Amino acid sequence: MSSKGDGASLPLFAEAPSEIDVRGFTFWAPWADAIVRPPRGTAPYAKNVDNRPERSALASRVNRHIAIHTGKTIHREGLAWLNATFSYGWTEADLAPAGVILGVARVVGPAQNFSSPWHFGAMYNGKPNVGWLINDVVTFDTPVTGAGGARINGALGCWRLPDDVLAEVRARYAAEKRRAAERTAALRA
């Protein structure tokens, strides 16, 4: 841990919120929504593990941030699984639109020896699987869009956000971190 002089203790990998190293990472619907905005009353069931092949692009983001981007594809089997497993009660109409950034999260690393209903095990659909642990999720009040409300195009793996989108994501992230710090200080007072 390192001290910033104001009595706050931050992990060594912490960055100034306005300067975070963040890359876009596209999730099919409903997975992006499940990470950043699970329905009220299902809080313990926010998606905290993402299942990917062992050689996932997430390996390059360990202890770094990803912007949660909504893809165009809707995984209908996944939506049915969410509703059956966690009683989300979502329909396709409840999902965020494609091509927006819903928030930011930190990739912790492989979820080894980690118990979570989101981790599908070492093999998934007959293929090797690694569950990537995601935490420190910061949800934006409204999604970040491209200029004039345009959709943001994603890509496979981790990708660079357009400069204007990166600036907006950093500003929103910093504002949310400030609000969280103020709420914590008020609770301690």
C-alpha angle 48/186/104, rounded to 5°? 25
Model pLDDT for residues 151-161, shown as the tens digit of each residue: 999 998 899 99
- DSSP secondary structure string for all residues of 68-93: EEEEEEE-HHHHHHHHHHH-----GG
Per-residue pLDDT of the chain (189 residues; tens, 9 = 90+): 333 333 333 343 345 666 788 999 999 999 999 999 888 766 567 899 998 887 777 888 888 999 999 999 999 999 999 999 888 899 999 999 999 999 999 999 887 667 888 888 888 888 888 889 999 999 999 999 999 999 999 998 899 999 999 999 999 999 998 998 899 999 998
Residue 77, amino acid = E
The helix or strand, by DSSP H or E, that contains position 25, with its residue range, turns out to be strand 22-29
Whose tokens are 């990803």? That residue is 66
Whose tokens are 């089997």? That residue is 77
CA 173 to chain centre: 12
Q: Note the pLDDT of residue 16.
A: 64
Model pLDDT for residues 104-118, shown as the tens digit of each residue: 999 998 876 678 888
Picking from 112, 127, 108, the residue whose alpha carbon sits closest to that of residue 48 is 108
Question: Going by C-beta distance under 8 Å and a sequence separation of 6 or more, which residues neighbour residue 45?
Answer: 38, 86, 88, 117
Q: Note the pLDDT of residue 43.
A: 56
Q: Which two structure tokens, joined as six digits, stand for 163?
A: 């400069």
Collapsed DSSP state (helix, strand, coil) of residue 128: strand
CA 71 – CA 29 distance, rounded (Å)? 6
Q: Note the pLDDT of residue 54.
A: 73
